[in-house]
Each structure stands twice: as C-alpha cells, then as structure tokens.
C-alpha cells in the first residue's frame, strides 16, 4: 500500500512540475513540412519566428539571432561563440571561402 501511495504522490509531483515548466517555457511550434529535414536550411517554424543554429542545434528567435552570410547563404546562430566555432570548423575543413562574409546582428 505504501508503494502505491508513493507512486501516486510521485506522479502528481511530476505532473505539477511539467505544468509549471510549460507555463514558464512554452514548447516551440512544430516546423513546416517544406523546411523539415533539409540540410542547410534554417528550419523556420510555421510562424517564421525561430531559426535553428547549425552549430549546436538550438532554436533561437530570428530577431535575436547572430547572423552570418557567406556564399549567398544565410546562417543564424544562438550566440557569437557558436558563429565563431562554425566559422573555425568550416575554415579548417576547407569548405569556407570567408571572402564573402557579411556579419550583422538583428
């Protein structure tokens, strides 16, 4: 009987914690079918308000993203650190021209 009581209390606590976390940190909207699974895409949501960082995979608001344009492609990052790591990795692999960089902070 005490094990059953423990499980009920434990599940109740988990439900309350999940409810609180959803109120504080609402889940992001799902991605549209047109951008899901495409390599090199920004993985925008249906509302177009978030983009995926290609370095760490984190979703960030497009207005707050650190942006990098190279070879006619736009890249969005959660931080300058991820942008710099991405740039460093690309320059070491030889697939980075670097000449056409245009950085901007939205």
Domain ranges for the chain: 50-105
Residue 59 CA to residue 25 CA, distance in Å, equals 13
Regarding pTM above 0.85, the answer is no
What average pLDDT does range 23-32 have in this prediction?
66
Alpha carbon distance 38, 23 (integer Å): 31
Alpha-carbon distance values, 47 to 17, 74, 90 (Å): 28, 18, 30
Q: What is the pLDDT of residue 9?
A: 93
Average model confidence (pLDDT) across the chain: 75
Cβ neighbours of 94 (radius 10 Å): 6
For residue 34, what pLDDT is reported?
44
Q: What is the pLDDT of residues 66-101, one digit of tens each?
A: 999 887 888 999 999 999 998 888 877 765 544 344
pLDDT for res 94: 64
């Amino acid at each position: 009987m005490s094990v059953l009581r423990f499980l009920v209390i434990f599940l109740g606590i988990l439900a309350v914690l999940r409810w609180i976390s959803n109120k504080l940190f609402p889940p992001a909207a799902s991605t549209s079918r047109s951008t899901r699974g495409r390599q090199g895409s920004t993985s925008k949501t249906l509302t177009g308000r978030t983009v995926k960082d290609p370095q760490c995979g984190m979703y960030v608001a497009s207005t707050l993203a650190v942006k990098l344009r190279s070879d006619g492609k736009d890249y969005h990052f959660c931080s300058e650190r991820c942008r710099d790591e991405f740039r460093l990795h690309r320059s070491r692999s030889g697939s980075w021209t670097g000449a056409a960089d245009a950085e901007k902070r939205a």
